[in-house]
Structure 1
Amino acid sequence: MTLTLTWEALNIIGTLAFAISGALVAMEEDYDILGVFVLGVVTAFGGGLIRNLLIGIPLEIIWNQEVLFGVAVLAISIVFILPSKWIRKWQMWVILFDAIGLGAFAIQGANYAVSIQAPFVAVIIAATLTGTGGGMLRDLLAGRKPMIFQKEIYALWAILGGLVIGLNLIEGPYTIFILLPVIVILRMLSVYFNWNLPREFKWNDK
């Protein structure tokens, strides 16, 4: 799979997943139809905007992605018209699609950083910020504490993607088919088993 095809595949997967997660969060917060579409679109393209700023892609390119906008709007529309009884466990669906978007954009950011021969540290940063950007903007606009800063392990899996790609630990053109499912599965496992990074130790002053 060429770099161009990989870029496009990850762009579609990440945009679709984050559009759905944004729409689900908006519906969970009882937004009206405008709010659902706004939050869905911002979530879908927020990570891309952060990615473009990070790796030097002109921001105006985002407006030339008519196909991706169509994909996002279609996905948000489907989510909006589905009966609520079909999507009973809202939070789990949000986490699933967020995990897919996290993995897709993390891999995309890391791949592009490698393609321009960026330093190893830049590959890690590109993977992390590109993977978490859309979800972070979604949570901030929804008045929630961003997942990246709280419960369960989140950004670490984007960092893992950057490490694997930066160190070339998985060789070959089909890295996406191995690494993306691994990131998604690890993210879901961290939620299911409530894996957390260390927090501040609370001393007992009594």
Structure 2
Amino acid sequence: MDWDVFYFFSVIGTIAFAVSGAIVAMEEEYDILGVFVLGLVTAFGGGVIRNLLIGVPVTMLWSQGFLLKTAVIAILIVFILPLPWIRHWKKSEAFFDAIGLSAFAIQGALYAVQEKLPISAVMVAAMLTGIGGGMVRDIMAGRKPLVLRDEIYAVWAIGAGFAVGIANLQKPWQLLLLFVFVVLFRMLSVYYKWKLPRRSLQSGLGG
């Protein structure tokens, strides 16, 4: 595996989710400490959850100095940007979230493949890395997790893990193409409001 490509996805995912977490924190009117906490949790939460489940020490996080600094810088930039810029950026929130989802799903899958885990574990690692940070972000912000209520979300992360694991995608162009496909299909599911089947216990009650 090309570790430059692996690191590329780590950096892209870290920036996208750190920005996403910071914007959510500012929407909820958190102070600057809350903005940094939520941004960092969003950027690294998925990787921590993945590592716990596949047996990698959580302390590995502290060896990712460059990614931590990258996330802090991204959060600081968002915090000091003029509000009109942030409001304009907010309109593209789904796009940044799609970038983070795609980048981290592929990164998580590559990590599991490198650990020689079975395809099922590769898919789970991709899903948890892709959606974990966003789930923790939403819970800490007092919101229903996006993955449980919005258009098809986690499915694209699982699909990325399946593609990496079953096809043994290793070449940079293959992984970049997969990255584009996941972002594209995530945005299509937002635009066309594709949803998984659901049932509500509220319908028909009280009638």
Asked whether the equivalents of residues 21 and 93 of structure 1 are also in contact (C-alpha less than 8 Å), the reply is no
2 CA distance for matches of 1:157 and 1:163? 10
Amino acid at match of 1:122: A
* Residues 71 and 91 of structure 1: CA distance in aligned 2, closer, same or farther (over 3 Å): same
- TM-score (normalised: structure 2): 0.91
Asked whether the equivalents of residues 21 and 95 of structure 1 are also in contact (C-alpha less than 8 Å), the reply is no
4+ residue runs of structure 1 moved beyond 4 angstroms? 201-206
3-state secondary structure, aligned to 2:104: helix
How many residues end up aligned between the 2 structures?
205
What corresponds to 2:184 in structure 1?
Answer: 185
Worse-matched range after superposition: 109-118 or 181-190: 109-118
Listed one character per residue, the Cα deviations across residues 41-78 of structure 1 (whole Å, up to 9, x for unaligned) are: 11111112112212222211211222111111110011
What corresponds to 1:157 in structure 2?
Answer: 156
1 CA distance for matches of 2:26 and 2:93? 11
What corresponds to 2:4 in structure 1?
Answer: 5
What's the C-alpha RMSD, in Å, of the aligned pairs?
1.9
1:7 deviation in Å? 2.2
- TM-score (normalised: structure 1): 0.91
Amino acid at match of 2:44: F
1:173 deviation in Å? 3.6
What corresponds to 1:108 in structure 2?
Answer: 107
Worse-matched range after superposition: 23-32 or 2-11: 2-11
What corresponds to 1:119 in structure 2?
Answer: 118
Structure 2 unmatched runs, 5+: none
Percent identical pairs in the alignment equals 55
Amino acid at match of 1:98: D
Amino acid at match of 1:116: E
After superposition, where does 1:28-39 map in structure 2 within 5 Å? 28-39=27-38
Structure 1 unmatched runs, 5+: none
* Residues 134 and 126 of structure 1: CA distance in aligned 2, closer, same or farther (over 3 Å): same
